Amino acid sequence: MIIVFLGPPGAGKGTQCKRLVERYGVNHLSSGDILRRERKEGTELGKEAQGYMDSGQLVPDDLIVAMMMKEIQPASNGAGVVLDGFPRTIGQARALDEALEKAGQRVDVALNLGVDDDKLEQRITGRRSCPSCGAVYHMAFNPPKNGETCDKDGASLVQRSDDTSEVVRHRIATYHEQTAPLIDFYEKSSLHNIDGNVSIDDVTGQMFAAVDDVKGKAGM
Ligand code: AMP
């Protein structure tokens, strides 16, 4: 099963993807996480992506499509894959469809997690993560027990360099310009709208219902 997860930055895609992995055993591929790994390792791709990421712009399609296709082919076997943050432009979505068609596959469901703009900035700027175990916190909604240290291993939490107010505003504008048109793109085939303004558990409930429905209809 191939799941595309759409939604603005800060909508909670990462949190919900972890729950999809637990329930359905799918692989989770986050284009943002892969790019951050490339940057940490100092690869050519990481260096090329850096300037775009730090200013809240999208990395060019050709780089992203090549990077993601390498990962999607092996990950989409077995239980399948949830794509988090990819595709993010119509060009990327078309490239994905073409590659999947060649492999006899298709996007089974596109989940569109909608959150009002005024909530996004607060959700993103309060976000902190643990550099050693990857646990994610929010200073207002899901704070760590002691200051800004990880509950699991005591490491000092960090803020993503692109989670500051100025860059966040740019990322939200980029989403409206370049990624929101994907809602129409998937509307005709596989779109399920999910209200992301409610609690984390309520969002999960809507998401599981949508995926169960698709699986039931397709006999998966
Ligand atoms: P994210 O972690 O998904 O918020 O992504 C962080 C940054 O990585 C974005 O602001 C973009 O600069 C870049 N990025 C991630 N996914 C893509 C994509 N599919 N296309 C272009 N740029 C991307």
pLDDT in tens, 66-82: 999 999 988 877 889 99
CATH class of 2-115+164-218: alpha beta
Q: Is 160 a catalytic residue?
A: yes
What mean pLDDT comes out for the span 181-190? 93
For the Cβ of 96 lying below 6 angstroms from any atom of ligand 1, the answer is no
Across-strand partners of 192? 111
pTM: 0.92
Spatial distance between the Cα atoms of 34 and 207, rounded to a whole number of angstroms: 24
Using a 6 Å cutoff on CB, does residue 137 contact ligand 1? no
Q: What is the pLDDT of residue 220?
A: 83
Catalytic residue among 13, 39, 123, 128: 13
39 tagged catalytic: no
pLDDT digits (tens, 9 = 90+) for 23-41: 999 999 999 999 999 999 9
* Distance between CA atoms of residues 65 and 69, nearest Å: 6
Q: What residue ranges do the domains of the chain occupy? A: 2-115+164-218, 118-158
Task: Say what percent of the chain tops pLDDT 70.
Answer: 100
pLDDT of residue 118: 87
Residue with token string 């298709």: 106
